[in-house]
Amino acid sequence: MGILYREIVDYKRRFLAKFTFILTLIIISVDVIILISNPKEFYNEIIYAGYAMLPVALLLSLIFWQKCRLRYKYCIIDNELIIERIKGNKRRVELNLNVKNIISIDKNSEKRNGIEKIYNFTCGCKKKDVYRCLFEKEGKLYGFYFAPSGNLLSRLKDVVNKKGFVL
């Protein structure tokens, strides 16, 4: 039948992550050029704490940038909800479940006993945009957090309630 609905969720501040990473690289490059051009003066005026923080800043900005490259694609194909993880050019299906196995979708984050595993398919979204979905698979209760749009929520609820899709 084909794709009935799909959307991609990604980190909203991707530009900030790239900017931070590039700025850190520029600062380190300038320091290396100064070190190579005049090493004696560099060692006389070095502030060790500041220069010790540069590798830490580089590592943190690299981790932040890598995290921002992560995206999730939510698809509804027939009665299947498929969640794909996209990192760069690599795609991997993280979850594939029949929509009729969904027990509830809500913003409620209260803990529930008996949940085997809880997945997280969000990209640094604000807590107010995150929903929790509980579903049953092979007699066990599972859950996941995701950040759907209003359109996806209404289509999921229509399928769960056996009303069909409203196009």
For residue 54, being part of any structural domain is answered with yes
Torsion of CA 29, 35, 41, 43, to 10 degrees: 100
For residue 41, being part of any structural domain is answered with yes
Distance of CA 58 to the CA centre of its chain: 21
Question: Domain containing 20: what range?
Answer: 11-68
Given the structure tokens 């056996």, which residue do they identify?
A: 162
For residue 64, being part of any structural domain is answered with yes
Band of residue 11 on the pLDDT scale cut at 50, 70, 90: confident
For residue 141, being part of any structural domain is answered with no
C-alpha angle 162-165-167 in degrees, rounded to nearest 5: 160
pLDDT, tens only, 18-58: 787 788 778 777 777 777 777 776 666 655 546 667 777 77
Count up the domains in the chain and report the number.
1
Identify the sign of the CA torsion 99, 103, 104, 105: negative
For residue 132, being part of any structural domain is answered with no
| Sequence letter at residue 135 | F
- C-alpha to C-alpha distance for 72 and 41, rounded to whole angstroms: 50
On whether the CB atoms of residues 45 and 34 are closer than 8 A, the answer is no
For residue 152, being part of any structural domain is answered with no
Q: pTM higher than 0.85, yes or no?
A: no
For residue 26, being part of any structural domain is answered with yes
For residue 31, being part of any structural domain is answered with yes
